[in-house]
């Protein structure tokens, strides 16, 4: 075969492989662009869905604040939230959870009533790639939000003596009804409505994330396959170059040896070098082709190194995310329960014959939270419950949950403990001291009621996506009843608790108390440990 024919065939083969390499690079870049677009779309849909929850939360805050102090600005801001959702006024820039904080703090002006650019949230949702199921889930959340809004509007109008005249307008006048407003906005049904909205939006976001996650996974899988094939192709190109140079060295003199030296330099990572062989004959053309291919290989290896670096970074981020997930699971559930779930157990449920349950509640929390405001209330609860969490760890008792201003702990669960009752009593006494210390730094004093009872409970994990470790049994209900019937800054306990602790602790007989569902039962107040000087312990 002639040299020219050999060179032509070799060039065509090299050109084909380089073209395939280039096409693979284009496809790889396009795949990465699709992944980026999908991620942006997913984030935008999540932000739109989250706006429903943000609107519900702020409407609740404004409605509750308005029935407390009748501030007309809260009334106006409440309806502007609805108008933004329905597209009656334009949505402000940077509209997020912090937006209304800035408005209430006077740092940002309230939204202007501009009709231009106003879009209902459903229309903004439809601009994106969504499924009918996702749209139905959004509409279901909006229906729940509308029901809550009606209760809020009735409450806000009732506080100034305005009532529904049957047409949907509040034209009927009457006596202001504070009790009705409080009942509508602080009832369990109302709180459940808010929780239902959050649950629906969470389900919607899960649907969106699952759909886009599958799409992104497919694209990333394709990208990995393209990258793998591209690596094999690059190695094939390199092998072809080496074989070609060896063949030419056998047939030509100085320039052939020079070409061989160049190929050897390539094998030693010398892709930036050039042959420096000129001429219009076959060897010159071959040298020119090799120079161009060397440059392509250099670019290909650089791209490959970039991909490897990105892969290592993704693996590191995945490891960090796994560590964060494990920490979060241990913060939500008791350590032993979290370990069992990670070990593969699907159903965790046990009966504990001997445990002690304690409930703590802030006296007059509704009025106190109205005076402190949302941020002051959250800061106060964070400081108080943070101190309680440290005491729970100190006295080896398990925090089960907080419901509003109520704090629930148990001794003897999930790790069985023969001193569960003593540990709960010590926790309760220290908790009262912590309340006094925290109250001294607040503008308004706080008081706690506590109730303790001991007996048998069932405990287990409920939920599939959002886990919760909870207790069930008559002991829980009785402990709650003792808490609600306690005097401020007192620890109200049952006779069963007094019997177990009478050797080490002091009690005050508070007589017979009427408990809902239990009738009249004896009750006592826990005063302190007997090792303290009895002369300085008084029933305050």
Give the CA radius of gyration of the chain: 36
First to last CA, the chain: 112
**% of the chain residues with pLDDT over 70:** 83
Query: 204: burial class by Cβ within 10 Å (0-12, 13-18, 19+)?
Result: buried
Same domain, 185 and 325: no
Cα(448)–Cα(454) distance, integer angstroms: 20
Average pLDDT over residues 13-21: 79
Q: What is the mean pLDDT of the chain?
A: 84
pLDDT in tens, 181-218: 899 899 999 999 999 999 999 999 999 999 989 988 89
Same domain, 289 and 363: no
CATH assignment at residue 417: 3.30.70.1230
Same domain, 272 and 403: no
Same domain, 315 and 341: no
Average pLDDT over residues 4-21: 76
Same domain, 348 and 300: no
Same domain, 175 and 186: yes
Same domain, 99 and 213: yes
Residues 6+ apart with CB under 8 A from 27: 226
Least confident of 65-74, 275-284, 384-393, 449-458: 275-284
Of the three residues 218, 249, 271, the one that is the final residue of a domain is: 218
| Cα separation values, 225 from 24, 31, 38, 221, 339, Å | 10, 11, 19, 6, 36
| 93 compared with 78, residue with greater pLDDT | 78
Cα(184)–Cα(181) distance, integer angstroms: 5
State the pLDDT at residue 259. 64
Comparing CA positions, the residue from 323, 298, 290 lying closest to residue 21 is 298
Same domain, 182 and 270: no
Same domain, 242 and 378: no
Of the three residues 180, 201, 218, the one that is the final residue of a domain is: 218
Long-range contacts of 55-61 (CB under 8 A, 24+ apart): 55/81, 55/82, 55/84, 55/85, 55/145, 56/145, 56/148, 56/194, 56/197, 56/198, 57/97, 57/194, 58/100, 59/148, 59/149, 59/152, 60/148, 60/152, 60/185, 60/194, 61/100, 61/374
Same domain, 410 and 394: yes
Same domain, 415 and 483: yes
CB 51 within 8 A of CB 100: no
State the pLDDT at residue 227. 83
Cα(409)–Cα(381) distance, integer angstroms: 16
Which domain range does residue 151 map to? 33-218
Same domain, 397 and 439: yes
State the pLDDT at residue 539. 47
Least confident of 9-23, 79-93, 193-207, 382-396: 9-23
State the pLDDT at residue 318. 75
Q: How many domains does the chain have?
A: 3
Cα(156)–Cα(243) distance, integer angstroms: 86
Least confident of 121-135, 218-232, 341-355, 515-529: 341-355
pLDDT in tens, 91-100: 888 787 788 8
State the pLDDT at residue 262. 65
Average pLDDT over residues 349-374: 90
Of the three residues 183, 218, 253, the one that is the final residue of a domain is: 218
Comparing CA positions, the residue from 217, 467, 471 lying closest to residue 346 is 467
Cα(88)–Cα(82) distance, integer angstroms: 8
């Amino acid at each position: 075969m002639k040299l020219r024919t050999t060179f032509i065939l070799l060039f065509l083969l090299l050109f084909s492989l380089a073209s395939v390499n280039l096409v693979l690079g284009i496809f790889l870049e396009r795949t990465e662009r699709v992944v980026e677009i999908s991620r942006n779309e997913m984030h935008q849909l999540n932000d739109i869905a989250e706006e429903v929850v943000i609107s519900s939360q702020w409407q609740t805050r404004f409605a509750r604040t308005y029935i407390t102090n009748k501030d007309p600005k809260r009334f106006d801001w409440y309806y502007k939230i609805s108008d933004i959702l329905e597209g009656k006024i334009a949505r402000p820039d940077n509209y997020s959870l912090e937006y209304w904080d800035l408005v209430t703090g006077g740092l940002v002006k309230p939204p202007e009533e501009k009709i231009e650019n106003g879009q209902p949230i459903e229309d903004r949702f439809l601009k994106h790639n969504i499924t009918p199921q996702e749209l139905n889930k959004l509409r279901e959340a909006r229906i729940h939000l509308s029901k809550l809004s009606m209760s809020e509007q009735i409450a806000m109008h009732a506080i100034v003596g305005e009532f529904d005249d049957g047409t949907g307008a509040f034209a009927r006048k009457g006596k202001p009804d504070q009790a009705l407003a409080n009942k509508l906005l602080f009832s369990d049904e109302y709180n459940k409505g808010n929780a239902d909205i959050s649950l629906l939006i969470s389900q919607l976001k899960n649907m969106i994330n699952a759909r886009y996650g599958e799409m992104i996974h497919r694209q990333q899988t394709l990208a990995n396959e393209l990258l793998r094939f591209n690596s094999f192709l690059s190695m094939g190109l390199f092998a072809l170059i080496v074989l070609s140079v060896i063949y030419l060295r056998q047939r030509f003199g100085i320039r052939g040896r020079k070409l061989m030296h160049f190929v050897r330099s390539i094998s030693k990572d010398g892709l930036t070098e050039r042959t420096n062989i000129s001429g219009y004959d076959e060897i010159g053309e071959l040298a020119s082709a090799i120079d161009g291919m060397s440059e392509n290989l250099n670019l290909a290896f650089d791209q490959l190194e970039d991909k490897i670096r990105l892969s290592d970074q993704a693996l590191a981020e995945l490891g960090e995310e796994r560590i964060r997930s494990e920490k979060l699971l241990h913060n939500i559930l008791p350590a032993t329960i979290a370990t069992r779930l990670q070990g593969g157990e699907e159903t965790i449920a046990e009966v504990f014959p001997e445990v002690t349950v304690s409930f703590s509640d802030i006296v007059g929390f509704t009025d106190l939270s109205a005076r402190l405001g949302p941020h002051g209330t959250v800061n106060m609860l964070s400081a108080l419950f943070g101190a309680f969490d440290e005491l729970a760890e100190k006295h080896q008792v398990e925090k089960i949950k907080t419901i509003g201003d109520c704090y629930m702990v148990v001794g003897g669960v999930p790790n069985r403990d023969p001193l569960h009752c003593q540990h709960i009593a010590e926790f309760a006494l220290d908790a009262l001291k912590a309340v006094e210390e925290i109250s001294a730094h607040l503008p308004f004093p706080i008081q706690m009621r506590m109730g303790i009872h001991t007996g048998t409970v069932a405990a287990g994990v409920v939920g599939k996506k959002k886990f919760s470790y909870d207790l069930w049994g008559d002991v829980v209900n009785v402990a709650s009843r003792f808490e609600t019937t306690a005097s401020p800054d007192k620890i109200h306990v049952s006779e069963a608790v007094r019997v177990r602790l009478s050797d080490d602790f002091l009690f005050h007989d508070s007589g017979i108390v009427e408990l809902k569902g239990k009738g009249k039962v004896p009750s006592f107040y826990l005063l302190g440990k007997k090792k303290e000087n009895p002369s300085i312990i008084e029933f305050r």
